[in-house]
Structure 1
Amino acid sequence: MRGLSKYLRPGLRAAMPRAAVLTATERLGSITHLVSSLEYLARAKDRDWGGPNNWDVTRTGFVTRSPRLTKVLDLVARRDVTRALHVARVAAAAALWLPLPKGAKVAANGVLAGSQLALYARHLYGTDGADQVSFLVQSLATVARIGDRRPAVVDSCLWFIALQSVLSYTVSGWAKLPSQTWRTGRALPGITRTLTYGEPNVWRLFERHPKATRLLAHGVLAMECGFPLVFAARGRVAPLVLGSAGAFHLANAWVMGLGRFFWSFTSTYPAVLYASGPRADARGQRRDDTLPALCAALIGAFLTTAQVVRARRAAMVVAGRGDERTLDASSGNVLSYRRIGDGDGPVVVLENGLCATAEHWEWITTRLAERFTTVTYHRAGYGPSRAKADFTTDTAVADLVDLAKAVADGRPVVLIGHSLGGYLAMRAAHTLGATVIGVGLVDSSHPAELRRSARQAQGADGLTNALSLMPASMKAGLGILLQPPKWVDTLPAHVRELSLAQYRDHRLWSGAAREWKVIKGEFENFDGELPEVGAPMLVITAGHTAATDPVQIELHDEMAAAAPRAERHTIEGFDHDQMLSDETGAGTVAGLIERFIDGLEGDDAS
């Protein structure tokens, strides 16, 4: 370990000897295992009845999925077996600091990696990133020791550790970057104020010095986001980056009690220094760089394939279903819409929610079109519709008004909106006046919800973070990695492929991001009156919404009060999206809409 200190100088010219790097890596990694096992031995009560890792409770999550594996885990969970494994881990971790022969080092590393894998389920609650990194390090150290006669094997293991370390820091930083909490510096005071990771004195210090706190938060972001710079200038800046990261973990160990993180992540630093430095050491032995070259080739092939798939997906989204019509709105936007059904009654126009498309309504439109002329469309920027004007709620409402007038052709109109679409429908109804004979709100958004509902405000922060990352990710072709959401699988089979393509296409996310930037600002500052609606209203609330956020019931009641007459319904057993995507939930909604429209026509007849 002392022999590595000279390689921490920024001006290093020769690569570190791989044998010294491997030894430093496995020894630093062993400290995490040593500390964790000593902690578990000292806190046996955590595994007793009432503790977070009582096996009688934890095993229920495994026995239904894999009864055979659970039998093995039952053996590991026995008090004497668990204790014996931890004692063996303490011995193996300590042994790695001795001048052992190769076979003993292989065994010690293998015991640490294997026992951690065996004990994972036993200590499920309380494991964290430190455990994952230490398992990776010790597993690869085992492989490197077994194949130490072949330099390419050892170098591949060290490269893997180094690349994983760089990836971990970089992803962590870029995941934090969209968060306003981190960008404004509020994250650090927030963390130090919590019960689990809090430290009152540090929190008070942060509160007294907000500018320094923000600078510190920005420093953390810069260190993590810029971690790949360890490879710049043949590794000359690597010691500075690693020193900053190590200081960050040391501070976390003191303030937050995350001591194991310091040892687990610093165990990757010798490999990072080795991989980022010159290829040849002082003796002329060259580092084998086959693994990073292979990784670069695979990443290049993946990105190329992803772009080809992205282009094909985009073509499918733009092509739509083949029966769309277009409308040149007064705003300059070009709207793509479908008109289905040929009923003689009112024209039903459906307005989508945020980050949603016309296909979300498929169960409902299929049923409504049997009796009514039904119109769905994509707001500007979504799917085949083109956005030529900047988004404002006034523009969105104007587009909906233009569409309603164009498709109605003098007939009465019923506007139905889901989520954000409900609020837009209310505003459009106010503008259209007598043309609209009814308005339906399906789990609608209320412009005051971010101010009055803590749950909605919290969800808004998460949505802001997601929408700051998703458009660029989809444009980069990473949509291929998105797992199909549950709502796609519950839509009618004939629209699932197109709906999944829309979900993985950047237009959906770019459209939502540009809308949300405006909507969030307006909703956070809303203190006015709801638009009055001169027609009867149908207000439907999802049962999950009512159960988890009672404020929404009050808000929906207020929306109902904006009409001269209103029906209120709560559909139990369904959440915000299932009311459209689930066949049963959508069928219930469609039935309520049908009866509502029938009532409107009855009013006209009388």
Structure 2
Amino acid sequence: MAMSSTMRRADGSLVEVDHKRPTDAAFGVVFFNGLGSPPEEWAWVREYLPEHAACVGYNRPGHGLSSPLPGATLEEQFQIVDELRGHYLEGLPVVLVGHSLGGYLAAAYAESRGGAGLSHVVMVDPTIITDLKAFAGTLPDSWARQHLLLESLWAATGLNVLRPIGAFSEHYADEVKSRLIEYHALPRTWTTSYREYMAARSYPPVQRLAVPLQVATATKGTNIAKHRASQERMLKLSDRSWHHVYEDATHIGIVAEQTHAKQLAELIVPGSWE
């Protein structure tokens, strides 16, 4: 069973962590959340992992109980992951799994560390940084920014507790659903997400990975051909890469719906897909 706690860093700041390490752990998993999502978004995926999997989910700076880190660089974000690995997953081969913006962060972290101690990367409907840069100033970019600001305003009024984000509330068990509603009711969630979104537009694209790569793409509700082609570009990051397309999954549903979560869990287990 996963435990929620905080990890205190050398400077006294906190990182909120959702972790589990069984005594017979054979490998570790670090989950990178999507924009505006807490570790609970991985609840069903974790449920379908084998008992010998050690898992670490965490809130990035400014989210949940994690201390803010204004203007945090990518390297500062990656140092947190280094500390999480050292504290909770020492001695284990580690799988990096990220959804949406977290998919980019997982791959970028793997590239920055040269694959040391890593098993493979799983990018789940990842944000494509080159696309994000190309969208800057366009209508989709404007809509995304307005959405985050409006969610922050809605949370500040306290009314979004009565109108939780439907894509989340539909799929999870009641206990997880309640935690998600509480998380999304915090204005801080959305103001931090807005800052993350703006920062991501200046992130460098990932160039090359030294480890295998799994890319899982959700196409429901998208321009299928365009979205699939964009995601397929990620396959060039590794000499060993696989693409899995889920035509009946939405961007949120690919992690939130049990059927898809089970399929993602199979991609996470080392050696199960080779």
TM over 0.5: yes
> Are the counterparts in 2 of residues 331 and 399 from structure 1 also a CA contact under 8 Å?
no
> Are the counterparts in 1 of residues 148 and 193 from structure 2 also a CA contact under 8 Å?
yes
2:51 counterpart of 1:370: yes
Aligned position for 1:334: 14
Aligned position for 2:188: 507
CA separation of 1:551/1:404 partners in 2, compared to 1, >3 Å: closer, same or farther?
farther
> Are the counterparts in 2 of residues 333 and 389 from structure 1 also a CA contact under 8 Å?
no
Question: For 1:132-211, what aligned pairs fall within 5 Å after superposition?
Answer: none
Q: What whole-Å deviation, never above 9, does each CA across 1:300-329 have from its counterpart, x for those lacking one?
A: xxxxxxxxxxxxxxxxxxxxx993232234
Question: For 1:45-56, what aligned pairs fall within 5 Å after superposition?
Answer: none
Segments of structure 2 that go 5 or more residues without pairing to the other structure are none
Aligned position for 1:441: 123
Aligned-partner residue type, residue 193 of structure 2: A
- CA distance in structure 2 between the partners assigned to 1:337 and 1:542 by the alignment: 27
Aligned position for 1:380: 61
Q: What whole-Å deviation, never above 9, does each CA across 1:275-310 have from its counterpart, x for those lacking one?
A: xxxxxxxxxxxxxxxxxxxxxxxxxxxxxxxxxxxx
**1:593 CA displacement:** 2.5
Aligned-partner residue type, residue 561 of structure 1: K
Structure ID, larger Rg: 1
> Cα RMSD (Å) of the superposition?
2.7
Q: What whole-Å deviation, never above 9, does each CA across 1:148-170 have from its counterpart, x for those lacking one?
A: xxxxxxxxxxxxxxxxxxxxxxx
2:249 counterpart of 1:567: no
2:268 counterpart of 1:583: no
> Are the counterparts in 1 of residues 99 and 125 from structure 2 also a CA contact under 8 Å?
yes
- CA distance in structure 1 between the partners assigned to 2:227 and 2:82 by the alignment: 27
> Are the counterparts in 1 of residues 29 and 97 from structure 2 also a CA contact under 8 Å?
yes
> Are the counterparts in 1 of residues 94 and 120 from structure 2 also a CA contact under 8 Å?
yes
- CA distance in structure 1 between the partners assigned to 2:141 and 2:132 by the alignment: 8
CA separation of 1:323/1:558 partners in 2, compared to 1, >3 Å: closer, same or farther?
same
Aligned position for 1:432: 113
> Are the counterparts in 2 of residues 331 and 398 from structure 1 also a CA contact under 8 Å?
no
Aligned position for 1:598: 271
Question: For 1:212-361, what aligned pairs fall within 5 Å after superposition?
Answer: 323-329=3-9, 333-342=13-22, 343-361=24-42
- CA distance in structure 2 between the partners assigned to 1:368 and 1:475 by the alignment: 37
> Are the counterparts in 2 of residues 332 and 388 from structure 1 also a CA contact under 8 Å?
no
Among candidates 206, 210, 213, match of residue 530 of structure 1: 206
Aligned position for 1:539: 215
Aligned-partner residue type, residue 432 of structure 1: R
**1:359 CA displacement:** 0.7
Aligned-partner residue type, residue 385 of structure 1: S
> Are the counterparts in 2 of residues 579 and 585 from structure 1 also a CA contact under 8 Å?
yes
Segments of structure 1 that go 5 or more residues without pairing to the other structure are 1-320
2:56 partner SS = strand
**1:538 CA displacement:** 0.7
> Are the counterparts in 1 of residues 21 and 88 from structure 2 also a CA contact under 8 Å?
no
- CA distance in structure 2 between the partners assigned to 1:550 and 1:510 by the alignment: 33
TM-score normalized with structure 2 length: 0.87
CA separation of 1:359/1:529 partners in 2, compared to 1, >3 Å: closer, same or farther?
closer
Q: What whole-Å deviation, never above 9, does each CA across 1:197-218 have from its counterpart, x for those lacking one?
A: xxxxxxxxxxxxxxxxxxxxxx
Q: What whole-Å deviation, never above 9, does each CA across 1:229-285 have from its counterpart, x for those lacking one?
A: xxxxxxxxxxxxxxxxxxxxxxxxxxxxxxxxxxxxxxxxxxxxxxxxxxxxxxxxx
CA separation of 1:564/1:329 partners in 2, compared to 1, >3 Å: closer, same or farther?
farther
CA separation of 1:469/1:572 partners in 2, compared to 1, >3 Å: closer, same or farther?
closer
Aligned-partner residue type, residue 463 of structure 1: A
- CA distance in structure 2 between the partners assigned to 1:457 and 1:446 by the alignment: 16
- CA distance in structure 2 between the partners assigned to 1:368 and 1:322 by the alignment: 12
CA separation of 1:581/1:380 partners in 2, compared to 1, >3 Å: closer, same or farther?
same
Question: For 1:375-414, what aligned pairs fall within 5 Å after superposition?
Answer: 375-414=56-95
Q: What whole-Å deviation, never above 9, does each CA across 1:392-449 have from its counterpart, x for those lacking one?
A: 3333233223322332212211100000001101111122332112100000111111
CA separation of 1:340/1:446 partners in 2, compared to 1, >3 Å: closer, same or farther?
same
- CA distance in structure 2 between the partners assigned to 1:402 and 1:592 by the alignment: 25
Aligned-partner residue type, residue 502 of structure 1: Y
2:178 partner SS = helix
- CA distance in structure 2 between the partners assigned to 1:386 and 1:369 by the alignment: 32
Bigger RCO of structures 1 and 2 (CA < 8 A, at least 6 apart): 2
**1:504 CA displacement:** 1.5
Aligned-partner residue type, residue 244 of structure 2: H
> Are the counterparts in 1 of residues 48 and 261 from structure 2 also a CA contact under 8 Å?
no
Aligned position for 1:466: 147
**1:584 CA displacement:** 1.6
- CA distance in structure 1 between the partners assigned to 2:2 and 2:89 by the alignment: 22
- CA distance in structure 2 between the partners assigned to 1:409 and 1:503 by the alignment: 32
Q: Which has the higher strand share?
A: 2
2:238 partner SS = coil
Q: What whole-Å deviation, never above 9, does each CA across 1:127-165 have from its counterpart, x for those lacking one?
A: xxxxxxxxxxxxxxxxxxxxxxxxxxxxxxxxxxxxxxx
- CA distance in structure 1 between the partners assigned to 2:158 and 2:174 by the alignment: 25
**1:367 CA displacement:** 1.4
Aligned position for 1:416: 97
2:48 partner SS = helix
- CA distance in structure 1 between the partners assigned to 2:97 and 2:271 by the alignment: 15
> Are the counterparts in 1 of residues 28 and 55 from structure 2 also a CA contact under 8 Å?
yes
CA separation of 1:333/1:471 partners in 2, compared to 1, >3 Å: closer, same or farther?
farther
TM-score normalized with structure 1 length: 0.42
Aligned position for 1:59: none
- CA distance in structure 2 between the partners assigned to 1:331 and 1:354 by the alignment: 26
CA separation of 1:394/1:330 partners in 2, compared to 1, >3 Å: closer, same or farther?
farther
- CA distance in structure 2 between the partners assigned to 1:468 and 1:598 by the alignment: 42
**1:369 CA displacement:** 5.0
> Are the counterparts in 1 of residues 122 and 267 from structure 2 also a CA contact under 8 Å?
no
- CA distance in structure 1 between the partners assigned to 2:169 and 2:73 by the alignment: 29
